[in-house]
Amino acid sequence: MEQAPCISQIATLLADPKRTAMIWALMDGSAKPSEELAMLAGLSASSANAHLARLAAGGLLRIEARGRKRFFRMAAADVGAAVDALASTTMASVARSASSRPVTALLAPASLRQARICHDHLGGEMAAALYQRMVLAKWIERFEQWLHVTPLGARHLAEHGIFTQALAQHSFSTMACDCSDWSEQQPHLGGALGAGLLQLFMQSRWLKTVNESSAVQVTETGRLEIARMAAV
């Protein structure tokens, strides 16, 4: 057990709802002053500063001095990725539980809801819409619990430079799978195909990363080209 990673240290920092609220407000890659974060979390200035100091000392936030004010932002992209993964797991676990209460989407900045990096693939509204178009266009289909790329889908994907046979040979992950999306009521595409599509979008400069955030900026060309993909 001594060799186990000390994930409990990070878990402890994220366990407090007030600290989580402040980190969540920074998920879009922005830098915010302590006063604004205090207001968002419903804390006094002194309490917010104490929480922010712990988050900064733990390596989750970075402090930027601007005159007499201190601004806080995510320390690195891996912090946002970890919080995003926790949000996705939270939504998926609620859906799997025996509870009959409906799953409600988590509130977040518009840029995160629109498009973001989820693990190694695209998440958000844009990704969920692309998933639904691929299903309707019969590029992908479900067989029992598994998601498959159809021959029709493989042909169309090859036209975009995505070769599913090559992905299957060079990837250790599943070709295609559902990924729970914490901001949507429907899944987006994960697996090797999801990663391949994100790589295509980034290399085509349709998407651009935003600071240390998991959010991505969609260019006008990217918006048009991704919307055309699998359009019925």
Q: What is the pLDDT of residues 53-110, one digit of tens each?
A: 999 999 999 999 888 889 999 998 888 888 888 887 877 777 677 665 665 656 777 7
Does residue 126 contact residue 201 with C-beta atoms inside 8 Å?
A: no
What pLDDT digit, counting tens, does each position of 157-177 carry?
Answer: 999 999 998 888 766 678 999
My answer on whether 123 and 223 are in the same domain is: yes
Which sign, positive or negative, has the C-alpha torsion 117, 186, 111, 79? negative
Residue type, 28: D
Find the range with the poorest average confidence among 13-17, 36-40, 81-85, 92-96: 92-96
CATH of the domain at 56: 1.10.10.10
Same domain, 54 and 131: no
Confidence of residue 189 (pLDDT cuts 50, 70, 90): very high
Residues 61 and 122 in one domain: no
pLDDT of residue 181: 82
Is pLDDT above 80 for 185?
no
Residue 173 CA neighbour count, 13 Å, CB half: 18
Tell which of 32, 52, 75 closes a domain: 75
Query: Does residue 53 lie within any of the structural domains?
Result: yes
* pLDDT > 80? residue 197: yes
Looking at the domain assignment, is residue 177 inside a domain? yes
Would residue 2 count as lying in a domain? Answer: no
61 and 113 fall within a common domain = no
Judge if 52 and 106 occupy the same domain. Answer: no
Q: What is the pLDDT of residue 98?
A: 62
Average pLDDT over residues 40-50: 94
Last residue of a domain, one of 53, 75, 97: 75
Domain residues for the domain of 14 are 7-75
d(CA 28, CA 113): 10
Whether residues 194 and 93 share a domain: the answer is: yes
Residues 204, 112, single domain; the answer is yes
At 115 the three-state DSSP class reads coil
- Give the separation between CA 66 and CA 61, rounded to whole angstroms: 16
> Where does residue 63 rank: exposed (0-12), middle (13-18), buried (19+ CB within 10 A)?
middle
* Contacts of the segment 13-18: beta carbons below 8 A, 24+ positions apart: 13/54, 13/55, 13/58, 13/60, 14/60, 14/83, 14/86, 16/51, 18/42, 18/43, 18/47, 18/48, 18/51
| Segment 167-190 mean pLDDT | 83
Q: Give the count of domains, the chain.
A: 2
The mean of the pLDDT values for the chain is 88
225 pLDDT more than 70: yes
pLDDT tops 70 at residue 5: no
- pLDDT score, position 102: 61
Supply the pTM of this predicted model. Answer: 0.76
Looking at the structure, do residues 63 and 99 belong to the same domain, yes or no? no
211 and 121 co-located in one domain = yes
Reported as a single tens digit per residue, the pLDDT across 104-155 is: 656 777 778 899 988 899 999 999 999 999 999 999 998 877 899 999 999 9
Is there a single domain that holds both residue 58 and residue 166? no
- How many other CB atoms are found less than 10 A from the CB of residue 151? 11
Give residues with Cβ within 8 angstroms of 197, minimum separation 6: 121, 122, 130, 162, 189
DSSP H helices in the chain: 7-15, 17-25, 34-41, 45-57, 77-96, 110-114, 125-136, 151-159, 164-170, 191-203, 220-228
Quote the pLDDT of residue 8: 85
The pLDDT value given to residue 81? 83
Q: What's the pLDDT score for residue 2?
A: 58
Q: For residue 1, is it within any domain?
A: no
Residue with tokens 């240390």: 212
2 against 177, higher pLDDT: 177
For residues 187 and 85, membership in a common domain is answered with yes
- Asked if 209 contacts 216 with a C-beta cutoff of 8 angstroms, the reply is yes
Rounded CA-CA distance 34/219 in Å is 31
Residue 25 has pLDDT above 60, yes or no: yes
94 and 126 fall within a common domain: yes
**3-state SS track over 81-92:** HHHHHHHHHHHH
Determine the pLDDT at residue 106. 64
Which of residues 75, 90, 108 is at a domain's end? 75
